[in-house]
Amino acid sequence: MSQDLINRYKKSYRLEFQNAETEGNYRDMQEQQGRSSSVFAFAALFVLSLAFAYLEYRAFGHDVAVPMYGYFLCATLALANLLISRFSPELHRHNLRLIGNGVLTTLIVISAVFLQKYSAYHALEFVLLTIWLGSLKSVRLIVTFGINAVLAIIFVLAMYITEVSAFWIPLVAVLLGVAVCLGAYIGYLTERVRRLLFLETEINKSMTNRQELWAFTLIDLDMALSGILDFKELIALLKKHLEPVISFDSYILTSLEGQGPKPVADKVEGELFENDDKTYWSEDLLGKLTQTRQATVSSEHETVKGFLGMEKQRFISYRLDVPVFNDSKLLGVISLRRDSEPFDDLDMIASVSIAAQAMLIFRRSTRSSAVVLEQAVPEPVIRPKPQTEDTTNTSVPSYSESKDMEVTDHSFVESDQTLVPQEVVEKFKQEEASAKKTITLMSRENADKIAVDRYRTAAVEGEPLSVLIIEVDGLSKLREKDGDQVAYKVFAAIVKYIFTRVDKNKDILGRYGQNGLSVLMPGVDMNAAEKFAEMIRQFVDGARYKTAYGEKSATLSIGVAAITDDTGDYASMIKRADMALFVAKKNGRNCVKVRL
């Protein structure tokens, strides 16, 4: 459901939705809201009946008291129906009760014309009841219009039978006709407003659901596509990850590598493309995708013979073309079609982001597997450089790379460029003879291989096992602002601190995404893992790091999950931890969340 549906409904004069499913959902909503709407309608009828009774009393007193008592009876019924609608657990045919109570009140007005001399306020009372009946929310407009028309005819006949002046009868008939049409028009407008509000609510709800599915899809991609080294296999798998976010009937895809200006499809699914005998991707389309790097939308038509042999355009479907880039090179295209409604902005943005995320994972999978860090002391710091080392050709690779990388003592020139306070530097110098130890922060792929074995062992032996997925908040902004070296120092210091707190013989540390890591903790249950996560979060939140660009700080967002009887496998446990991390980031970051 998209904004286009609202625009089309605004241009139409139809009251009901053309889509049967949308119409059914609206009627279900009306049924659910029937209680509140009927309470309001009965309250209005109660007030009107009391007002009519008061008018009868002031006009005729006790001379002709039947209409007055009739209005009191209608007011009592309206009050009773109001209480039933308000407090009863079931609605008990509120539509029939509304119509019955309203028709009875209108018949009392008509009986007053029989029993009393016709007065202008009788017509006014009838007009008010006509508008009330026409604007009922839970009764269909065509029903109320028919009832009002019949009652108006009865009212005029009553005037004729009671020999009201022939001058007044046509005037009142015109007035009542206008009142019936006015009631129908008011009912039509209010119904249109209710339906537009329903569409806006449904579109907002649909947009929120799609955005959540989009976020979870980006999370799932990391698990599903990691380790895939063949581009054609990668692009083929994107289809099932686009389905939850974008509705489509048919799709085709192509890998452009080695193909000419008119590429052929690697895979075609759905009759909207199977019946197409034209070139799927023209040179103009490929050029536009390359220049804009954005998805493009279009509508497909075909020329058919019309009346008297005249040619006309017949709509076929809407189309969305999604480019798949590796850096600046267009490697492939995924095209989607549907005939229900146009693709909207969210479809375009989500499709491109999913393709871009897939390519990030693909590039990461093609790199080597480990990152090596040096362990100095059990604080989140990096050891300063001895003054005798040569630093001419020294560089620190970005922590975001997945290739092998070592942080050695000659990484820093002056003590004011380090993350270490001066007093700690002096302590380092005093402990220069201490042994050095290496931290191995494995790649996601290698860490998962070991973790799967640990998971199977824990599942068979019935032992606890937990996993933490940790993301350093704001590290990307720090890298953009101060450079890779500063961001690397902060990341390395945090990793070293975590390493000092884990069990070196059992726990597994691995890279996770661009700014994070995972910690697999065999023998640790969920409660202990949550306490451990909170401990390191609090420490990092209070830590400060001195760099050449001033003092820096960082926080951690952590997702925690553990093996359970319902976990299923290691992948599902990681997915729950990833979802917990997603919730932690949605809740403002710098917190720990657990996914049961």
Q: What is the CATH number of the domain that holds 404?
A: 3.30.70.270
Q: How far apart are CA 226 and CA 223, in angstroms?
A: 6
* Position 567 confidence tier, pLDDT thresholds 50, 70, 90: low
Q: Is pLDDT above 60 for 432?
A: no
What whole-number distance in Å separates Cα of residue 46 and Cα of residue 80?
Answer: 10
* pLDDT value at residue 323: 92
pLDDT-derived band at 308 (thresholds 50, 70, 90) equals low
Has residue 484 been placed in a domain? yes
pLDDT reading at 436 higher than 60: no
Most confident of 81-85, 219-223, 373-377, 383-387: 81-85
pLDDT at 393: 37
411 has a pLDDT exceeding 80: no
Are residues 347 and 259 part of one domain?
Answer: yes
Question: Are 188 and 143 within one domain?
Answer: yes
Determine the Cα–Cα distance for residues 471 and 483; give it in Å rounded to an integer: 19
- Pair (140, 115) in one structural domain: yes
Q: Which of residues 332, 365, 398 is at a domain's end?
A: 365
Describe the crossing of helices 168-225 and 231-242 by its angle, rounded to 10 degrees: 150
pLDDT grade, residue 32 (50/70/90)? low
pLDDT at 466: 93
Q: Which of 24-33, 273-282, 288-297 is the most confident on average? A: 288-297
Closest CA to 199 of 58, 364, 358, 12: 12
| pLDDT tens digits for range 279-295 | 788 888 888 888 888 89
My answer on whether 393 and 302 are in the same domain is no
Flag whether 220 is in a domain: no
Dump pLDDT digits (tens) for 182-205. Answer: 888 888 888 888 888 888 887 777
Q: What is the pLDDT of residue 497?
A: 87
What gap in Å lies between CA 69 and CA 401, rounded to an integer?
A: 88
Residue ranges making up the domain that contains 484:
370-594
For residues 137 and 269, membership in a common domain is answered with no
Quote the pLDDT of residue 512. Answer: 86
Of the pLDDT bands very low, low, confident and very high (cuts 50, 70, 90), residue 72 is: very high
What single letter denotes the amino acid at residue 246? I
CA-to-CA dists, residue 154 to 39, 97, 147, 176, angstroms: 28, 21, 11, 11
pLDDT at 407 over 50: no
Residue 226 located in a structural domain: no
- Scan for tokens 């824990």, then name that residue: 458
How are beta strands 592-594 and 555-562 bridged, if at all?
A: parallel
CATH assignment of the domain containing 342 = 3.30.450.40
- Whether 74 shows a pLDDT value over 80: the answer reads yes
> Measured between alpha carbons, how far is 223 from 225 in angstroms, rounded to an integer?
6
pLDDT, position 24: 79
Same structural domain, 518 and 537: yes
**7 and 75 inside one domain:** yes
Q: Which among 365, 399, 415 is the end of a domain? A: 365
Percentage of the chain surpassing pLDDT 90?
A: 12
pLDDT band at 534 (very low <50, low <70, confident <90, very high): very high
Query: What digits encode the pLDDT tens for the residues 346-375?
Result: 888 888 888 888 888 888 776 633 344 443
pLDDT tens digits for range 39-65: 888 899 999 999 988 888 877 665 667
Q: Is residue 49 part of a domain?
A: yes
Domain boundary (365, 400, 420) is at 365
pLDDT at residue 303 in the model:
67
Listed range (83-97, 165-179, 182-196) with the worst mean pLDDT: 83-97
Looking at the structure of the chain, the number of domains it has is 3
pLDDT value of position 256: 85
Whole-angstrom distance, CA of residue 174 vs CA of residue 349: 57
- The four Cα atoms 343, 349, 355, 357 give a dihedral, to 10 degrees, of -150
Per-residue tokens: 401: 């790379």
What would the mean pLDDT of 435-441 be, rounded to a whole number? 55
pLDDT of residue 146 exceeding 70, the answer is yes
Residue 192: count other Cβ atoms within 10 Å of its Cβ.
Answer: 16
At 27, list the tokens: 């009627």
Is the pLDDT confidence value at 449 over 60?
yes
Are residue 323 and residue 376 in the same domain, yes or no? no
Res 435 pLDDT > 70: no
- Render pLDDT for 452-471 as a digit per residue (tens, 0 to 9): 888 888 888 888 999 999 99
413 in the same domain as 331:
no
- 303 or 474, which is more confident: 474
Q: Is the pLDDT of residue 557 over 90?
A: yes
Say whether both 336 and 375 belong to one domain. no
Least confident stretch, 2-6, 164-168, 322-326, 331-335? 2-6
- Which one is predicted more confidently, 226 or 309? 226
pLDDT at site 414: 34
> What pLDDT is attached to residue 145?
86
Of 103-112, 327-336, 540-549, 570-579, where does mean pLDDT reach its minimum?
A: 540-549
Q: What are the distances in angstroms from CA 103 to CA 48, 99, 135, 442, 458?
A: 13, 6, 14, 79, 73
> Token pair of 445, please?
């792929």
pLDDT of residue 304: 67
Whether residue 128 is predicted with pLDDT greater than 60 in this model: the reply is yes
Residue count of the chain, please give it.
Answer: 596
The CA distance from 217 to 524, in Å, is 29
Rounded to a whole number, what is the distance in angstroms from the first to the last CA of the chain?
33
CB 334, CB 306: distance < 8 Å:
no
Q: Within this chain, do residues 358 and 380 fall inside the same structural domain, yes or no? A: no
| Domain-embedded: residue 207 | no
Give a yes or no: residue 222 inside a domain: no
Q: What is the mean pLDDT of residues 309-319?
A: 75
Q: Which residue has the higher pLDDT, 1 or 503?
A: 503
Encode pLDDT of 201-253 as tens digits: 877 777 777 777 788 887 778 777 877 778 888 888 888 888 888 888 888 88
* 3-state class (DSSP) for residue 216: helix
In a domain, 72, yes or no: yes
Tell me the pLDDT tens digit for each residue of 134-144: 877 767 778 88
Measured between alpha carbons, how far is 508 from 458 in angstroms, rounded to an integer? 14
Residue 218 lies in a domain: no
Same domain assignment for residues 156 and 286: no
Burial class (CB in 10 A: 0-12, 13-18, 19+), 408: middle
Please state, in angstroms and as integers, the Cα–Cα distance from residue 490 to each residue in 364, 400, 509, following that order.
Answer: 22, 12, 17
Q: Which residue would you say has higher pLDDT here, 277 or 526? A: 526
pLDDT the model gives residue 322: 92
* pLDDT computed for residue 402 by the predictor: 41
For all residues of the chain together, what is the average pLDDT? 77
